[in-house]
Structure 1
Amino acid sequence: MFEVEEWVGGLWHRAVTRYADDRYAEAAVTLTQMRKEVGVLYRALGGERAVRIDTAAERPVTLPRTLWQRVAGSHRRLALPYLNEEVLALPGEVALFPAPELNREVYRMLAATAALSPSVAGGLDWAQAACHRYVALCAAYPAMRSRYDALIKAYLPLRIPLQRLPSELQDRETRLRNALQHLEFAAMQASDMDGLQPPPFWLYPAQGEGTGPVRREAPAHETPPEDKPPAAAETDAGKKAQGEYVEDHDGDKGLLVFRLENLFSWSEYLKLDRTADDSPDEDAARIAEDLDHLSLSTQEFGGGQRIKLNLDLPSASEDDTPLGPGLYLPEWDYRCRRLLPDHCLLQPLLDHRAPPCAPPPQLRRAVKAVRARFEQMRPMRFWRRNQAEGEEIEMERWNEFCADRIAGGAFEQPMFKSFSGRLRDLDCLLLADLSMSTDAYVDNDRRVIDVISDALLLFSEALDAVGDRFALYGFSSCKRQHVRFHVIKNFAEPYTNAVRGRIVALRPGFYTRIGAAIRQSTTILRDQKASRRLLLILTDGKPNDLDLYEGRYGLEDTRQAVLEARRAGLIPFCITVDKEAGDYLPYLFGDKGYVLVNSIQRLPRELPKLYATLMESK
């Protein structure tokens, strides 16, 4: 009996969903297909290079729905495009039109209007700004007017007819249609859009950044009593997360059982007192914005049951030795377009516990091969004989000259020798990312940090064999007041087993505040005497930290640090294993300023080869 009910229910669900679906699935175009074109168009028309193209999350909306749509429970959430300082968020799929080219045109229109200067829509609400953006776009690029008119001509018949709308919406729908057709005379305001279908080629406010066509549902729970924490309904009305107060779960049980029809779902439960947590989370608003549902316990726990979900710094006895009190460094704030002086505290560290060691057994064959290859590239020097001037006198020629002078037949002849040969005037500093992401496993028994350690060993053996001066440093961070800068080998120290021991003993750190590490590396490398100074940066991800150093802020600071290195006469070059690096590294280092190693396991073999290529080409 149950199988029959399930079968009938499945048929009903598929039938209702099919009748309620007004998309043209066969003509759908995805953001994945359009990402490259959208990115090129957005930046070619003047869009910010640091703004990333991403998929917009669905948000609740209030729309007029057909009977089938109400039965199916669909059309309650939409992915609305928006633009802010960090992201241009676009729908993951557009299947509005029966022609794929028109669906692609929606993406192009969104990219073109987003690329306009923010001053175009200054002082206007989001509905007025959406119309004004198209007015400015058609004024700047007259050819866009015909494309816009063609899009509107195809779009208006797809909207719900006026006679099928509630009477209170018909007048607003008429004004919206007139606004779409006659942009220069548009008089739509954000309040006029309540309950109407949002045009898919407009830009809307991001969630939590102002009012938009977002449904605000009444909470399902009762109003909390006065002794419960105050709700932030007034300030966070646009957030997508819903909240409710729940009774305390059974603290003796570590698992929760949730029954959905006949399926059981198990999840971990930790008894945390969020109402009594006294550690402020600077990123709490952004984290809460990403959640669909928040549950807050109404019971308070004792102080002994509190726990901080954060990374603790190691104790002094277990940590590396600090070298001095630390260095205060500036940081670039793109919002005010200036360097913030003394904003970061960088602490140089030296691992005093690492025992000296030879290359590990599994690397000895590779070390021998690398040294043999690079020794052949060592510049050879030799004596040039019979020179008119030089560092030393050739004694044989001198004796002949003295004998000829005594015999009365002396004449001047070249009798010096000079030490000559090609010298490669190059210093290299390698800066390795030691953030906690390197603690991930690449196979059953090896972590990313182990592969990085092998790569640094082979790199060091290669440079030692070729005779180039080099230095090795690592970095990680835990907010701006604790940027860890690990000294593995400086320029004055010879490459010995002590250095090899520090490389083998490398451990994962915390986060990736790369701008401060690049600035300190620039200072060190700038003081070297070589005519060519190469700054190699080895990383497995984009800049991030616990505080504001994430997204565009971190990217802009890193880019500024790279520009400072170039202005100091250095050659910055990035080596990464992050497969998404193509989205942001061209902005930081330029199209030819980085290389992607497709597999982390190949890094030890590829790093010396990359250096050999760079020292010949730079």
Structure 2
Amino acid sequence: MEELIGKLWHNWVTKAAGGHYPDAAVTLPEIEKTAGILFRAFGGDPGLKVAAATAEQHGARRNWLQRLAGSQEKVSQARRDAETLRLPPEIAAFPDKSLNRDLYLWLAAQAACDIAPHRGWFIRNQQAAATALQRYPGLRPRYERLVEAHLAARIAPEKLPPDEAAQENALRAALRAPGTVDGLTPLHSTQSRPPQPILLWLIAAEHDAPANKTGGGDEPPQEGSGHSGESREAHKAEQVETPDNKAPLLAMFRAESLPTWAEYVRVNRAYDEDENPDAQQAARDLDRLSLTRDGQTAKSRVKFDLDLPSEAEDDLPVGPGIPLPEWDYRKEILLADHCHLQPMTARDAGSAPLPAELAATAKKLRNQFSALAPQRRWLKAQPDGPELDVDACVRNLSDRRAGQTPETGNYLAQARCERDLACLLLADLSMSTDAPISDTHRIIDVIRDAILLFSEALTATGDRFGIYGFSSLRREHVRYHLLKDFGERYDGAARARILTMKPGFYTRMGAAIRQSAQILAEQPASRRLLLIITDGKPNDLDLYDSRYGIEDTRVAVHEARGMGLTPFCVTVDREAGSYLPYLFGPAGFCVIRKPEELPRRLPLLYAQLTRN
């Protein structure tokens, strides 16, 4: 009974305190796609991704009901940095759901018009708002409704101390007429509080600086795809030294440590430890996550030491390696010979038959794809040929008797209808492909099965194709695995190399695409398809784990198109819709949300891409 009464009291007082209307809430997943399109349509940086903002304590005054309810202590505000446009994970500030939705759209428009990101917070937001209203006058009615609804929810200036009231009046004037207020008067008293958060503006630039040092509040970076269906939340993070826990109980109860005591998250950058089922809830309760490199467990030490396999167990390198350029979007230059790509082939792979469980599907695909194989057809009215064209003979004879000169020949000739097409399949063999999708299969298993069935299908068409795989460990070690070259037949040896595929390291996709494009461009074909299979976005242990990798891959794709190739990406990453349109264009990729469907769908996708 006590717990029930406590819940009822909490719900009532929170509702009475105002500022939060859950029945009218709009969440970021509902509006993320629309906001992203609007941001880019209004001229925003197309390389920025849309993600959730962190909730931070603002320190401003609250009304007595909010203090009684313990609500509105934190607020999530929009901000943008070099890589991300962060919007609140949920907006429920107004009782009207349409206003909450309009606030998301206004924030996207204001971020797109942020023409002075290096100016102070107050001037920067005024200029952005004024620019948005000037460029897109149709936004003004929505903006004015949002301003009035927001001002009505703020504490009135007359209820504030004089210096805070002066700032509040200036803020209200700046919201109603952006660009007309030059600055805020400083606070005089040590008891004064900062202004209440302005939901229509981007967060102050100075608040972004600490986050940029540690990844902008992102979740700890991980290699590979996002297959989890759980919602993503942003957290403030900082990099710290591993705490000395020789006497953890004594440290916990030291009086001077009580105000600042907090937990830290043990994260190994390259590999996941055993999951803690309570970690997600614990993260929600912390204001800031502290991350530290911790290699105390034997498991972590062994994995770190075995980052690269021994020479006797590794694939055979082919040649001395290939230097390749890489695009640095910050300097807007192509760094010559920045990466080292090492072609490799399987050691002692031997020969192998097609796995029995794929035999029936392979036979069906070969029968279907045989219809695409080159067929001979008869050409009529030819000047020479093995047989007479009766229709042409009758027509020519009739023309002569009518006094006309025949313009066609009298013979039938056979012509072979060639499919002048070459395809290079590039498979992502990063460590994330070791992730399970069922009790019996991993992502690498379905990629392997898909490549085998793809190869079986293409042998029926006679199309020329090559198969390669890649992974990387920083820019000095990009591994490029030869599975089937264009100049060799698809036989037991090629099949054995495909069967020996195993997860590697990271996903430096730009270098792999550049090398694949060079190989494919040398093939004598009128149509050349570069087909990429992946399970996550480009990343590596260095800067490639950020926007750097996205921009380099995008430039590599554009270079491939400039060589007359057709790049197309097939992914099993459920989050790929947020970055693949930027990399490959709206029609240059396909997301397969159920990885187990990849073997069946890959040959059919190829048939669709090459049917014309």
Normalised by the size of structure 1, how large is the TM-score? 0.78
Distance 2:506 2:287 in 1: 23
Distance 1:308 1:607 in 2: 33
SS at match of 2:611: helix
Report if aligned partners of 1:544, 1:550 keep a CA contact under 8 Å in 2.
yes
Distance 2:341 2:287 in 1: 34
**Given the alignment, which residue of 530, 537, 540 partners 2:532?**
537
Q: In the alignment, what sits opposite 1:399?
A: none
**Given the alignment, which residue of 332, 335, 338 partners 1:340?**
335
Distance 1:294 1:242 in 2: 6
**Given the alignment, which residue of 20, 23, 30 partners 1:23?**
20
Q: Percent identity?
A: 45
Deviation at 1:431, TM superposition (A): 0.4
Q: In the alignment, what sits opposite 2:350?
A: 355
Distance 2:266 2:120 in 1: 43
- Kindly tell me the number of residue pairs found equivalent between the two proteins: 535
Q: In the alignment, what sits opposite 1:142?
A: 137
1:175 maps to a residue whose letter is A
Rate the CA distance shift 1:417–1:174 in 2: closer, same or farther, 3 A.
Answer: closer
1:188 aligns with 2:192: no
Q: In the alignment, what sits opposite 2:40?
A: 43
Q: In the alignment, what sits opposite 2:456?
A: 461
1:22 maps to a residue whose letter is G
SS at match of 1:41: helix
Distance 1:444 1:242 in 2: 36
1:196 maps to a residue whose letter is P
Report if aligned partners of 1:128, 1:189 keep a CA contact under 8 Å in 2.
no
CA-to-partner distance for each residue in 1:3-42, whole Å, 9 max, x for gaps?
A: x654554454444434434322222222222223212221
Q: In the alignment, what sits opposite 1:420?
A: 415
1:322 aligns with 2:317: yes
Deviation at 1:378, TM superposition (A): 1.6
CA-to-partner distance for each residue in 1:118-141, whole Å, 9 max, x for gaps?
A: 5x2154112210011112222223
CA-to-partner distance for each residue in 1:172-218, whole Å, 9 max, x for gaps?
A: 11222222223232123597796111210101146853499xxxxxx
Q: In the alignment, what sits opposite 2:271?
A: none
Report if aligned partners of 2:17, 2:65 keep a CA contact under 8 Å in 1.
yes
Report if aligned partners of 1:243, 1:293 keep a CA contact under 8 Å in 2.
no
**Given the alignment, which residue of 593, 600, 608 partners 2:595?**
600
Structure 1 stretches of 5 or more lacking a match?
Answer: 213-237, 257-266, 273-286, 395-413
Distance 2:377 2:51 in 1: 60
Q: In the alignment, what sits opposite 1:281?
A: none
Q: In the alignment, what sits opposite 2:543?
A: 548
Instruction: List aligned pairs for 1:250-261, cutoff 5 A.
Output: none
1:91 aligns with 2:81: no
SS at match of 1:420: strand
**Greater Cα offset, 107-116 or 9-18:** 9-18
Distance 1:154 1:10 in 2: 29
**Given the alignment, which residue of 101, 104, 109 partners 1:107?**
104
Report if aligned partners of 1:464, 1:495 keep a CA contact under 8 Å in 2.
yes
Distance 1:130 1:499 in 2: 60
Larger radius of gyration: 1
Distance 1:239 1:30 in 2: 20
Distance 2:519 2:573 in 1: 27
Distance 2:241 2:521 in 1: 57
Normalised by the size of structure 2, how large is the TM-score? 0.79
Distance 2:64 2:459 in 1: 76
1:130 aligns with 2:129: no
Distance 2:236 2:568 in 1: 41
Report if aligned partners of 2:471, 2:506 keep a CA contact under 8 Å in 1.
yes
Report if aligned partners of 1:208, 1:239 keep a CA contact under 8 Å in 2.
no
**Given the alignment, which residue of 280, 289, 292 partners 2:288?**
292
SS at match of 1:486: strand
Report if aligned partners of 2:54, 2:236 keep a CA contact under 8 Å in 1.
no
1:203 aligns with 2:194: no
Distance 1:268 1:360 in 2: 47
Rate the CA distance shift 1:306–1:177 in 2: closer, same or farther, 3 A.
Answer: same
1:104 maps to a residue whose letter is R
**Greater Cα offset, 474-483 or 61-70:** 61-70
Rate the CA distance shift 1:21–1:269 in 2: closer, same or farther, 3 A.
Answer: closer
Distance 1:245 1:504 in 2: 42
Q: In the alignment, what sits opposite 1:177?
A: 172
Distance 2:587 2:499 in 1: 31
SS at match of 1:372: helix
SS at match of 1:348: strand
Q: CA RMSD in A?
A: 3.7
Structure 2 stretches of 5 or more lacking a match?
Answer: 212-234, 253-262, 269-282, 389-408
Rate the CA distance shift 1:616–1:73 in 2: closer, same or farther, 3 A.
Answer: same
Distance 2:185 2:469 in 1: 51
Rate the CA distance shift 1:17–1:340 in 2: closer, same or farther, 3 A.
Answer: same
Distance 1:96 1:209 in 2: 23
Report if aligned partners of 1:381, 1:420 keep a CA contact under 8 Å in 2.
yes
CA-to-partner distance for each residue in 1:86-136, whole Å, 9 max, x for gaps?
A: 2111112222222222222211211111112x5x21541122100111122
Distance 1:371 1:22 in 2: 63
Distance 1:444 1:342 in 2: 43
CA-to-partner distance for each residue in 1:220-267, whole Å, 9 max, x for gaps?
A: xxxxxxxxxxxxxxxxxx96659799552479xxxx9xxxxxxxxxx9
Deviation at 1:444, TM superposition (A): 0.7
CA-to-partner distance for each residue in 1:284-320, whole Å, 9 max, x for gaps?
A: xxx9xx98243889x999x9x9788687111111110
Distance 1:529 1:556 in 2: 30
Report if aligned partners of 1:355, 1:501 keep a CA contact under 8 Å in 2.
yes
Report if aligned partners of 1:128, 1:190 keep a CA contact under 8 Å in 2.
no
Report if aligned partners of 2:58, 2:73 keep a CA contact under 8 Å in 1.
yes
Report if aligned partners of 1:126, 1:190 keep a CA contact under 8 Å in 2.
no
Distance 1:115 1:190 in 2: 28
**Greater Cα offset, 25-34 or 570-579:** 25-34
Instruction: List aligned pairs for 1:226-241, cutoff 5 A.
Output: 241=238
